[in-house]
Amino acid sequence: MEFIYRENELKKIAHEIIHNSKSKILAFYAPMGAGKTTLIKAIVQALGGKDNVSSPTFGLVNEYADKNSELLGYHFDFYRLEDENEAMDMGLEDYLNTKGWVFMEWPEKIPNLVPIDAQIIKIEILSEKTRKLLLLDTI
């Protein structure tokens, strides 16, 4: 499935992802500055999240709750990882086995740990304001 969108269409794109995803584990493949975190923020809001969404670049993982303070999901940024062992040491496997959503930025840093059933989301920069999003089964 393919979508071309601009920033003012993020709410619509977030709903499309939620309704068309084969999994609650979303792996975002995109270059720096493509809008991964901005899109995740829109998805969390569409899911009823109450938390402020920001990139967990330094903390590696953020936890989000819904409006009832129940777990909504986890947001990972693997950009700074040196190897997959760091992800295992932080307990990635436990996070993946929760009932919440899992948003993974830079999953290419942990290729052997991305679940086979994860929804692959590839974002391409078409112009300063326009992106192309692909929902894929595999990378």
- Per-residue pLDDT of 102-134, as tens digits, reads 999 999 999 999 999 999 999 999 999 999 999
- The answer to whether 23 and 104 have CB atoms below 8 angstroms apart is no
Q: Per the structure, how many domains does the chain have?
A: 1
pLDDT at 76: 95
- Domain, as residue range, for 12: 2-136
CB atoms inside a 10 Å sphere around CB 119: 19
Give, as one character, the DSSP assignment of residue 118: P
CB neighbour list of residue 127: distance below 8 Å, 6 or more residues apart: none
**Dihedral sign (CA 116, 22, 12, 40):** negative
CATH of the domain at 110: 3.40.50.300
Low-confidence ranges of the chain (pLDDT < 50): none
What's the confidence (pLDDT) of residue 54? Answer: 78
pTM score: 0.94
Distance CA 95, CA 92 (A): 5
Tokens of 63: 């936890």
